[in-house]
């Protein structure tokens, strides 16, 4: 999972990100991505995908405002990877 963070420039991360984005949070968000319907993830535009993922994540997790901001920032930066993963799953579903 540490390679996921290395794709993002440290200069663009909020100061709170290292404290909030622990291995458990990373595992939880990527489990959510992997368990979501790929066809839905592919259909949503970027803002919609970001909002949908954060709503789904927040259903099971209580996040402070700073945690929510850091998680939103992380998800936003990982949208291309999330889309790529979903697009790879869609043909397998057909």
pLDDT tens figures, 11-69: 454 454 555 678 888 999 999 999 999 999 999 999 999 999 999 999 988 888 988 89
State how many domains the chain has: 1
Assigned domain for 17 exists? no
**Inside any domain, residue 8:** no
Is residue 6 predicted with pLDDT exceeding 50?
no
Distance between CA atoms of residues 82 and 62, nearest Å: 23
CB 26 within 8 A of CB 82: no
Residues comprising the chain, all counted: 94
pTM: 0.74
Angle formed by the axes of helices 65-93 and 46-60, to 10°?
Answer: 110
Q: Which domain holds residue 43?
A: 36-94
| pLDDT at residue 8 in the model | 44
Whose CA is closest to 5, among 16, 49, 37, 17? 17
Judge whether 11 lies within some domain: no
- Does a structural domain hold residue 19? no
């Amino acid at each position: 999972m540490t390679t996921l963070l290395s794709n993002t420039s440290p200069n663009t991360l909020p100061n709170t990100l290292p404290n909030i984005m622990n291995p458990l949070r990373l595992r939880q968000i990527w489990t959510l991505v992997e368990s979501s319907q790929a066809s839905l993830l592919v259909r949503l535009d970027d803002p919609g995908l970001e909002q949908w993922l954060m709503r789904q994540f927040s259903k099971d997790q209580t996040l402070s405002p700073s945690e929510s901001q850091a998680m939103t920032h992380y998800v936003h930066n990982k949208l291309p990877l999330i889309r790529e993963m979903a697009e790879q799953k869609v043909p397998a579903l057909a």
